[in-house]
Amino acid sequence: MIDINQIINLEKYPINDIGSLKYKELTNYTRKQLNEDGCCVLPNFIKPDSIRKMKDEVDRNLSKIYFTSDKHNPYFTKDDKTLPEDHPKRIFTVRQSGYLNSDDLEKDSDLNKFYDLEEMLKFVSDSLEVFPLYTWADP
């Protein structure tokens, strides 16, 4: 059984209390941030001890990480040469990402537990207003 309280700061972010007023206020806040800024920052969402454990796990598995480098604009669209050169759809930046497959996560790790949290999946789904939302399943 996953003890969500060991990983997530539930006092500040009650993602396990879906019917509560605090949960509704939280998802209203995340939706507003996503709609206005395209991202949402939740300071201290994951508890410091859990962050440390997750970082340590990633460090132990650096050789298994798949790295990519992509070039994109803020809209993830192709270059539109009909627009002025300074238009946001014409400004491309390089994004580098690293991926650790879920089947490479350590079985009892906080990172694996976090990945499997139904409460987290529901919270992200409610925040993005995407229903249903599924976790990625590596073969």
Domain map of the chain by residue range?
A: 1-62+104-139, 66-99
Instruction: Provide the β-strand partners of residue 71.
Output: 94
| Long-range pairs for 46-52: beta carbons < 8 A, 24 or more residues apart | 46/7, 46/8, 46/9, 46/114, 47/6, 47/7, 47/8, 47/9, 49/6, 50/6, 50/7, 50/8, 50/110, 50/114
pLDDT at 139 over 70: no
Report CA-CA distances (Å) from 48 to 6, 45, 52, 75, 78.
10, 9, 6, 33, 40
d(CA 92, CA 25): 35
137: pLDDT confidence band, cut at 50, 70 and 90? confident
- Averaged over 37-62, what is the pLDDT? 96
Averaged pLDDT for residues 80-91:
94
- Which residue, 39, 47, 38, is CA-closest to 13? 47
Which pLDDT score, from 0 to 100, does residue 1 have?
72
CB 33 within 8 A of CB 41: yes
Q: What does the alpha-carbon distance between residue 30 and residue 42 come to, in Å, rounded to a whole number?
A: 9
The answer to whether 74 touches 88, Cβ cutoff 8 Å, is yes
Amino acid 38: pLDDT: 82
pLDDT score of 138: 58
Q: Indicate if the pLDDT at residue 91 is higher than 80.
A: yes
- Residues 72-97 have a mean pLDDT of 93
Give the C-alpha separation, 135 to 62, whole Å: 22
Look up the pTM and report it.
Answer: 0.83
